[in-house]
Amino acid sequence: MAEVDRISIRGGRLIDPANRLDREVDIHLADGRVLAIGEAPPGFEPERVLDARGLIVCPGFVDLSARLREPGLEQKATIASETRAAAASGITTLCCPPDTSPVIDTPAVAQLIQQIAQRHGFARVVPAGAMTRDLDGKQITEMAALKLAGCPVLSQADRSIRNAQVQRRAMEYAATFGLTLFLHPQDPDLTSGGCAHEGRVSARLGLPGIPEAAETVAVARDLALAGQTGARIHFRGLSTARATVMLAAARGRGVQASGDVAIHQLFLTEDDLDGFDANCHLVPPLRTRADRDALRHALAAGEIGAICSDHQPHDADAKLLPFPETAPGISGLETLLPLALRLVTEGVLDLPGVVARLTVGPAEILGLDLGHLSPGATADVCIFDPNDGWIPTPETLLSHGENSPFLHTQMHGRVMATFLDGRIVFERASDR
């Protein structure tokens, strides 16, 4: 990583949705901050000048859910390996769910993860603190202490709280400290034992199903509780059309609720389970084409404010068992940008809209002053070529997780350079 304090990026198309900026203009960085947009200040002498002509310059991406597998599952991946992959993907900030081992339910674990990430220096890791001790769904954690330890949000990862009274108390407690709760919108009883969307494909393949109601029941309960307690909640990983309608209606009533979608839910459907591809074993499951189209519509309408990777790297053995017994999840960091750009190609969003849902949208959900390039802002910057074609293979991925249904698929869009706090943390070799 290059240690250069003063940098000018010249000639790129700067897209900064937070500031409604989309034009070819220079940007200058100094001392880890955005110094100026346009003309350099008098006397400014950059130590390095990057030629960004023909490239997109934007804020570094913010990913709301990326599992790093450390501590506890280092045979799958490590903070070093996954944050390095994040940097190569233009991601400068990522939120780590609390289902590590040990669970992120104490300040010590939260601080340990941040210290390891800072030591490697590839990306900023913000841990989501656990809502309940050991994610047991019973005893609420010391939320204020977790907030002080650097947890901007609290979560149960993929383990929902069954007891509505405990959920209500958690919301009341979180609201007291101004914390957002990341909620897994899946009813645990309706989800139990399932591995695919309950529908025609699961019936044909003989796979145990997870009904749409598993999501809508959970969303309905939590929206009602949020309305009563005044808590701020975020549905992490929506997958059904009905849930997006419920979210929009609740927001219209003034409920402080938001939602995100994993990038793979915008492209894959239940039909991709044909052939029993274990890389399509996901939670929530891949739904119908109508659900996928509704997610796209909600994203375009702004009802869903963020796209995330939902990165879950696995070792090869985790995907070798019969489909229902395999571990769910996709290794998603390195295909996040090219898949998001495919939304532009397919007319779902324009390019500034895609950048917004990868930057300022998720940053606002986390409550962090990131995801924009205002003068004086943290100099987290991504430079990418939207037209550069490539094909992901196990050999090209930096993540230790090779579990992706998008391997050997033509992609367009690659990151050329990533800056974290004004430092170059990734730079692709170029003949420029």
User: So which residues are the catalytic ones?
Assistant: 310
DSSP character at residue 11: S
Report the chain's C-alpha Rg in angstroms. Answer: 21
Residue where the block lists tokens 């800056």: 419
Question: Which of 197, 264, 205 is closest to 409 using CA atoms?
Answer: 264
Tell me the β-bridge partners of 57. 14, 383
Residue 336 host element (H or E): helix 336-345
Q: Is the separation of the CB atoms in 309 and 66 below 8 Å?
A: yes
- Indicate the residue type of 224: A
Judged on CB neighbours under 10 Å (0-12, 13-18, 19+), 229 is buried
Residue where the block lists tokens 């509780």: 225
Q: Which residues contact 289 (CB under 8 A, 6 or more apart)?
A: 269, 271
> What is the Cα–Cα distance from 319 to 313, expressed in whole angstroms?
11
Provide, for the chain, the percentages of residues in helix, strand and coil under a 3-state DSSP scheme, each rounded to the nearest 5. 35, 25, 45
Instruction: Please state at what angle helix 213-229 crosses helix 241-252, rounded to 10 degrees.
Output: 10
Q: Is the separation of the CB atoms in 371 and 304 below 8 Å?
A: no
CA atoms 150, 154, 155, 156: torsion sign: positive
Q: Is the separation of the CB atoms in 150 and 112 below 8 Å?
A: no
Q: How far is CA 141 from CA 96, 174, 269, 315, in A?
A: 17, 10, 37, 31
Question: Which of 159, 191, 192, 154 is closest to 173 using CA atoms?
Answer: 154
- Indicate the residue type of 73: L
3-state SS of 81-98 is HHHHHHHHCCEEEEEECC
Say if strands 13-16 and 56-59 run parallel, antiparallel, or are unpaired: parallel
Question: Which of 383, 371, 385, 422 is closest to 28 using CA atoms?
Answer: 422
> What is the Cα–Cα distance from 274 to 281, expressed in whole angstroms?
11
